[in-house]
Amino acid sequence: MKKKIIENLITIFYALLIALFIRTFFYQPFYIPSSSMEPNLLIGDRLFVSKYSYGYSRHSFPFSPNISNKRYFAKTPERGDVVVFKTPADNRTDYIKRIIGLPGDSFQITNGDFFLNNEKILRTKTLISTVINCGNNKITFDAYEETLPNGKKYISVYRRNGTIMNTDKYIIPDNHYFFLGDNRDCSKDSRFLNSVGYVNSVNLVGKARIIFFSNDKSKGSFFEFWKWRSTIRFNRFFKKIE
């Protein structure tokens, strides 16, 4: 009996080591808790993030041990990538946003238009829905397909009333990145220098790749299996993140 228990404990130990290895160097699951990336990522989406996409830093490891302030096997992100990163404010909280500005870029909102390196970002108005979440509220919005200079396209949304029309010019420092949420007026991102601001490359955790599960908590708990038809978003399973 004692031998069997020891064998089981050894098996569990090795299983945990393998899981830790995969989580640290390959893929890590994340949960979307807020509406800041709607309509592309919804509250209740669960996704895989590739840890190898940009190389590795101390934030690749659980609990972000303070072992180094360098990034190893570093690879440069592309504009438009959806990325999980640790917020500069505490180096612990995970955020997920879209990279808009690279090191050395400038970014500014002028009369509601977005300018990257003094060139207007192309936006084409479209209609994908009539309301969208902003915290616990639902708002009316305008949706646009935006095209970045590298050709990356995605959908972003703006309040019909009260959207941010003007900002100061942001100059992204060396080795830092500028992030925006796709739900532009319901996102705490790099526009807020005191809370997020420019994100150091060391703080990048990985690139969001694919949604593997999605559950709408507003319609019921996952454990209420009799509600699965309405609560589980089967159409979002294995959806690639653009």
Cβ proximity of 51 and 208 under 8 Å? no
Of 34, 51, 60, 97, which is the active-site residue? 97
Cβ proximity of 211 and 234 under 8 Å? no
For residue 204, give the nearest of 80, 115, 74, 109 by alpha carbon: 74
Q: In the numeric block, which tokens belong to residue 144?
A: 């646009």
Alpha helix ranges (H) inside the chain: 2-25, 228-231
The question of whether 97 is a catalytic residue gets the answer yes
Provide the 3-class DSSP secondary structure of residue 178. strand
One-letter amino acid identity for 31?
Y
The question of whether 60 is a catalytic residue gets the answer no
> Measured between alpha carbons, how far is 107 from 100 in angstroms, rounded to an integer?
9
Residues in the chain: 242
Of 35, 36, 187, 190, which is the active-site residue? 36
Catalytic residue positions, numbered: 36, 97
